[in-house]
Amino acid sequence: MDLKIFSASSHPEFAEAICRHLNLSLGHAHSQVFSNDNRFVTINEPVRGADVFIVQTSSAPVDSNLVELLMYIRTLRDASAGRITAVLPYFPYVRSDKKDQPRVCIAARLTADLLQTAGADRVLTMDLHSPQIQGFFSIPCDHLLASPTIIKYLKAHWNLENYVLVAGDAGAAKMLKIYADALELPVAIMDKRREGNNEKPTIKGVIGDVHGKKVLLIDDEASSGRTLMRDVEFLLEKAEAVSADACIVHAVLGDEAVTALNTSAINRFVITNTLPTNTKPLKNKEVVDVSQLFAECIRRIHANESIKSLNDVA
């Protein structure tokens, strides 16, 4: 089976970086939108029997990117691709993983179902909001973690003396522990009341001690940046931390968010390139490249090698 990698529209530079690491050319395909706003996808090279990976991240417009991915997958299936792996560096609707209130849907499960209906044989993704989401799939789902790469980066480029790692809420606390254990730093957790899915929870305090400390907030995703800024404000003003930095795996940040964050008290931002944020004018951003990790994972999936070690903290 030949290995072929295609890129949908959302993040071509990431797909190209993967190809570069693997010494491959990106597959030829074309995606356009007609005047009735209907998309049309063509694969412009044979894929019969090939081991195809199609790369699409969930940047805005989210639904359009999702449907485009479904069309790529279906097109590949009907073109007799041998195996189709959907590569989603940032997974769509990943935060909608439970029923916080009655009569809502678990959109991440819906998304998983749609990918399978379209014809995906496998999924490869990074830092799902909760690890339970792997259980939403009936097909193998390889789940990469950004933490080993970020931890390696922090160890190499940061002086972490006097730092406390801070989780924005109890849900983020579990993820924080991997960093805390590897970096041997204490942790604290914001104590909030968040109801339903509204975006303005009340901060009640901080569980753990940050007084006189440098805080590094770690989360899997930031979009509006508002939560982050409110936490930082509280940590510096009420909890008497001395400085604040942030580490965000999936930097969804729109233009408005970038503008706001650039005026915030946060000094440094560590983000990954699972989303096309490289060109965003976010001040002091430090981008950790995970494309090599995806490339190596794709190589191993193709070669039937174990990917176990890729998530090990060095």
Q: List the interface residues with its own copies, window 198-237 (CB under 8 A).
A: 199, 207-208, 221, 223-224, 226
Q: Which amino acid is at 23?
A: N
Number of residues that bind its own copies (CB under 8 A): 99
Q: Is 249 in the site for its own copies (CB under 8 A)?
A: no
Nearer residue to its own copies within complex by CB, 13 or 305: 305
The crossing angle, in degrees rounded to 10, of helices 62-78 and 107-118 is 30
CB of 211 to its own copies, least distance (A): 13
Q: Is 105 in the site for its own copies (CB under 8 A)?
A: yes
Q: Is 284 in the site for its own copies (CB under 8 A)?
A: no
Question: How far is the C-alpha of 160 from the C-alpha of 44, rounded, in Å?
Answer: 50
Identify which range of 14-22, 29-37, 155-163, 229-237 contacts its own copies by CB under 8 A.
29-37
**DSSP-derived pairing of the beta strands 29-33 and 3-7:** unpaired
Identify which range of 16-24, 147-155, 251-259, 278-286 contacts its own copies by CB under 8 A.
251-259
Nearer residue to its own copies within complex by CB, 17 or 241: 241
CA 83 to chain centre: 24
Closest-CA residue to 94 (of 126, 56, 138, 140): 126
Interface residues for its own copies in 144-163 (CB under 8 A)?
none
CB of 157 to its own copies, least distance (A): 25
**DSSP-derived pairing of the beta strands 187-193 and 163-167:** parallel
CB of 137 to its own copies, least distance (A): 9
| Residue appearing with tokens 């970020």 | 150
The answer to whether 179 touches 151, Cβ cutoff 8 Å, is yes
Q: Is 109 in the site for its own copies (CB under 8 A)?
A: yes
Tell the burial category of 294 from Cβ atoms under 10 Å away from its Cβ (0-12, 13-18, 19+).
Answer: buried
CB of 213 to its own copies, least distance (A): 14
Interface residues for its own copies in 64-93 (CB under 8 A)?
64, 66-68, 70-71, 74-75, 77-80, 82, 92-93
Residues 6+ apart with CB under 8 A from 18: 5, 55, 87, 291, 294, 295, 298
Nearer residue to its own copies within complex by CB, 12 or 135: 135
Q: Is 110 in the site for its own copies (CB under 8 A)?
A: yes
Q: Is 240 in the site for its own copies (CB under 8 A)?
A: no
Identify which range of 109-117, 144-152, 154-162, 280-288 contacts its own copies by CB under 8 A.
109-117
Residue 281 to residues 29, 269, 277, Cα–Cα distance (Å): 31, 12, 9
